Amino acid sequence: MKRLILLMALYALIPACAKTPPSLSPTGTRFYQADRGVVAIGTVQHVAIDLNRIQVCDPQPCHALLSDQNTRIVVDATTTALTTIKAAPSGWAAAETTALERLAAQLDEAGKKELAAYLDAARQIVTTFGGANGG
């Protein structure tokens, strides 16, 4: 239930934060947009780690809601994306898109199911901030 509430809040915030503050310079705008991308992909990473900590026991035996392998895939892909974004902030949208595509290709079906909404939200942020406006 907490995940559903968090997800609903995240989707509600995307349109609200979709406008770059008009007082920013062109450089400030690029960094603001890159920051939105960093927050989005960082959120995917934090969610994956938290889902890995949750133990479910139905069916037996007890196991992590998100497997260690899926968690590792997310951490590796997001770490690579964040390193790339730090080195070249103007390419944040491409780095994040690549990471999200890699995740979608490498996660197993259970991982895709658990992370689908978060990956979709991150893609929406890339579309909103990294589209024609730069990124």
Count of domains in the chain?
1
CA distances from 9 to 63, 64, 102 (A): 28, 25, 26
Does a structural domain hold residue 68?
A: yes
Q: Is 116 a member of any domain?
A: yes
Check if the beta carbon of residue 63 is closer than 8 Å to that of residue 130.
Answer: no
Residue 50 lies in a domain: yes
Classify residue 38: in a domain, yes or no.
no
- Note whether residue 34 is domain-resident: no
Domain-located, residue 109? yes
pLDDT by residue for the chain (135 residues), tens only, comes to 455 555 555 555 555 556 788 898 988 888 888 898 999 999 999 999 999 999 999 889 999 999 999 999 999 999 999 999 988 888 999 999 999 999 999 999 999 999 999 999 999 999 988 864 444
Q: Which residues contact 26 (CB under 8 A, 6 or more apart)?
A: none
Which conformational region is residue 134 in: left (phi greater than 0), alpha (psi within -120 to 50 degrees), or beta? left
Q: Could you tell me which of 116, 105, 101 has the C-alpha nearest to residue 66?
A: 116
Domain residues for the domain of 86 are 45-135
